[in-house]
Structure 1
Amino acid sequence: MSRVRLGAIGAGWWATSNHFPLFAARDDVELVGVCGLGPGLEGIRERFGFGFATESAEALLDADLDAVVISTPHDLHHPLAAMALDRGLHVLCEKPMTLRADDAWDLAARAERAGTVFLVPYGWNYKAFTVAAKRMLAAGRIGEIQYALCHMASPTRGLFGSDPTHMLERWNSDTAPDPSTWSSPEHGGGYAHGQVTHSSALLFWLTDLRAATVAGRVLNAGAPVDLFDAGVIRFDNGALGSLSGAATLADGDKYQVDIRLFGTEGVLMIDVERERVTLSRYDGEREEVAITPGDGEYECLVPPARFIELITGASTENNSDVTVAARSVELIEALLRSAAADGAETRVHA
């Protein structure tokens, strides 16, 4: 394949500030068409060099594509990704992949039938230091995991409270994020869907764990959606876990993603804020991963590139495939169901 014929559904804030510039700069990608709403769509087509613009997702998907990138509001991901997979297309679908566990596993089944690439662009899953941590775990350096801590906090209180000013400035985009995507319960707004999706997907990729039950609580603190999330998890292998999220770091503070894994042979700690990965084994062995200063900051440059490389065969490493994404979705959905049931322990999957 000389050039990947790519279409895009969704032409808002994140698509125009991250994905489109990256794809437009590649010689191995042809931007066939873009689907979106609003009077600015034609300008976006011209700016990035798409062949055509349309408001019809079906017209876009039927345009002799190889692949599609879906960057719509959360609640539209499932039907659009399903249509793309049923046409045999490779799919890059924004996070959260879906809002419901049954929809997530439906996409997993469709992707398996299609035999195509499905990638959800979780940026931290592609950092050199998390890849190094994954290799340590895969080599059995801490033994069987018995306890997992997964925490995330970010300066996003305005975004989930309907004032995206700081996030807009952070990403330097001229397209404001749609508040309904982030602060509307009907469209999957809230910190769990918007941010805990990152930390939980990182956890599941690193460990291959799957949550069995969760007892969760959320707090809106005056916002229309959750700003704080907490859960106690029991994993399929019997391990215990804790999950936490907070939207109220001060603007400009560094993101916190803190994963600590306690196993039968040692402990592995990953801290993106302080940019450290440390292994401490019970036999006295110690190891620390060297991290380039600033590499802990979130960015999403590698996943779109990896998507194309997976399609062309230049890479075989998908660090955020449909299964990783589905395990994140099912945990978040169950946590929110548990919170609505006053914290009752809730099954994550059958």
Structure 2
Amino acid sequence: MSASLPSGRKARIGAIGAGWWATSNHFPIYAARDDVELVGVCGQGPNLGAVRDEFGFGFATEDYDELLDAGLDGVVITTPHDLHIEHALRAIDRGLHVQVEKPVSLDAESAWELVRRSEEVGAHVLVPYGWNYKPFTIAAKRLVDAGHLGEIQHVLCHMASPTRGLFAGNPDDIRTRWDSNTAGPQASTWQSPERGGGYAHGQVTHSSALLFWLTDLRAQSVISKMTAPGASVDLFNAAVLGFEGGALGALSGAATLPDEDPYQVDIRVFGSEGVLMLDTERERVSLHRYDGQRWDLDIEPGAGGYECLAPPARFVDLLTGRETENHSDARVAARTVELIDAMHRSAAAGGSEILIPPSSAR
């Protein structure tokens, strides 16, 4: 199943979901490539025909089974958060490769089911976490993989964003950063607890996915608090984490940076032999060892800002065989889901400790 397409054949891609993020980010990337055929798009609402025409999809439908049966190689899923897992599993069962938006699921069990079923059939699952594909984070990953940290003992993982409007006001405010001709973000997705709204599912998923990819850690226990001042979903997160292997961690999230401020992602990893510091806002990656060896990477100004151009391109390259590395696969995504699932359950229980089943149970 994971074998690449025949040489010279275009990747036949369909899309489930035709809203703001799909039309502002993913579809323009695919439409501009000469190795992609946009077979069909599935969505709802009066703008569906306009989306089909703007990006050159072969057909439009409101029935995603019709789309999945159209001879696709892969499918791009950008539906509301609570529908991601249903659509991803249905596509995997058709033998399709999947690019699915975060969070892949709202609960740990179904996220690990996606891992199991995709690995059984050899399907690529890529979750478009943009920071995981930045040259400076890839360089940081190589330093970690080379063993320069030794045994990881403690981590700090912080994220803050200018997203108050997205989670607690007018979601269209974020269109100053990413705009679409056909749609804007829907409050029913981002501001509904039942549908996976809130800062943890919407943003901490990014910082934790970067942490898990960099370190290969997996959470074992979570003690969490969340607050939602003036909102129906969480705007602020704080958690104490225990990881398999004994490392300790501290996690924080905040939705209320001023609109013009850059996103903050600050990850610090303390090991038995050295310390890694990665900061997207101030554009720093350094790894300093206790034996005196030091790596301080040169990062181009502006390179830390969030963008999501590389992941859709990598999805196509995985299908065509031009690339083999997936920096945001189903396992990375499942680790973020089980963490955030546990954070929500801990916060709902007043900060009680939540234990996550060990790897052997997954």
TM-score by length of 1: 0.99
Paired residues for 1:159-174 under 5 Å: 159-174=166-181
Q: CA deviation at 1:349?
A: 2.5
Paired residues for 1:197-236 under 5 Å: 197-236=205-244
Paired residues for 1:1-350 under 5 Å: 1=6, 2-174=9-181, 175-350=183-358
Q: CA deviation at 1:280?
A: 1.1
Q: CA deviation at 1:166?
A: 2.3
For the residues of structure 2 that align with 1:236 and 1:141, how far apart are their CA atoms?
Answer: 20
Residue type of the alignment partner of 2:354: T
Residue type of the alignment partner of 2:39: V
Residue type of the alignment partner of 2:139: A
Instruction: Assess if the C-alpha contact under 8 Å between 2:172 and 2:185 holds in 1.
Output: no
SS in 2 for 1:230: strand
For the residues of structure 2 that align with 1:339 and 1:224, how far apart are their CA atoms?
Answer: 14
Q: CA deviation at 1:173?
A: 2.0
SS in 2 for 1:300: coil
For the residues of structure 1 that align with 2:121 and 2:95, how far apart are their CA atoms?
Answer: 5
Q: How many residues align?
A: 350
Q: CA deviation at 1:162?
A: 3.4
SS in 1 for 2:177: helix
SS in 2 for 1:279: strand
Q: Considering only aligned residues, what root-mean-square deviation do their CA atoms show, in Å?
A: 0.7
SS in 1 for 2:162: coil
Residue type of the alignment partner of 1:295: A
Instruction: Select between 276-285 and 297-306 the one with higher mean Cα deviation.
Output: 276-285
Report Cα offsets for 1:167-194 as digits up to 9, x if no partner: 0121122311011110111110000000
SS in 2 for 1:274: coil
SS in 2 for 1:92: strand
Report Cα offsets for 1:210-232 as digits up to 9, x if no partner: 00000000000120100000100
Report Cα offsets for 1:145-168 as digits up to 9, x if no partner: 000100000000111003123201
For the residues of structure 2 that align with 1:154 and 1:224, how far apart are their CA atoms?
Answer: 18
For the residues of structure 1 that align with 2:10 and 2:91, how far apart are their CA atoms?
Answer: 19
SS in 2 for 1:131: helix
Residue type of the alignment partner of 1:119: L
Q: CA deviation at 1:286?
A: 1.5
For the residues of structure 2 that align with 1:244 and 1:310, how far apart are their CA atoms?
Answer: 33
SS in 2 for 1:296: coil
Q: State, as a whole percentage, how many aligned pairs show the same letter.
A: 65
Q: CA deviation at 1:348?
A: 2.2
For the residues of structure 1 that align with 2:222 and 2:356, how far apart are their CA atoms?
Answer: 7
Residue type of the alignment partner of 2:266: D
Residue type of the alignment partner of 1:294: G
Report Cα offsets for 1:192-216 as digits up to 9, x if no partner: 0000000000000000000000000
Q: CA deviation at 1:75?
A: 0.3
For the residues of structure 2 that align with 1:279 and 1:58, how far apart are their CA atoms?
Answer: 48
For the residues of structure 2 that align with 1:295 and 1:166, how far apart are their CA atoms?
Answer: 23
Instruction: Select between 10-19 and 286-295 the one with higher mean Cα deviation.
Output: 286-295
Report Cα offsets for 1:56-77 as digits up to 9, x if no partner: 0100001111100000000001
Instruction: Assess if the C-alpha contact under 8 Å between 1:330 and 1:349 holds in 2.
Output: no
SS in 1 for 2:201: helix
For the residues of structure 2 that align with 1:158 and 1:178, how far apart are their CA atoms?
Answer: 11
Residue type of the alignment partner of 1:223: A
Instruction: Assess if the C-alpha contact under 8 Å between 2:151 and 2:271 holds in 1.
Output: yes
Q: Gaps (5+ residues) in structure 1? A: none
For the residues of structure 2 that align with 1:273 and 1:173, how far apart are their CA atoms?
Answer: 26
Instruction: Assess if the C-alpha contact under 8 Å between 2:20 and 2:179 holds in 1.
Output: no
Residue type of the alignment partner of 1:13: W
Residue type of the alignment partner of 2:54: R
Residue type of the alignment partner of 1:154: S
Report Cα offsets for 1:1-41 as digits up to 9, x if no partner: 31000000000000000000000001110000000000110
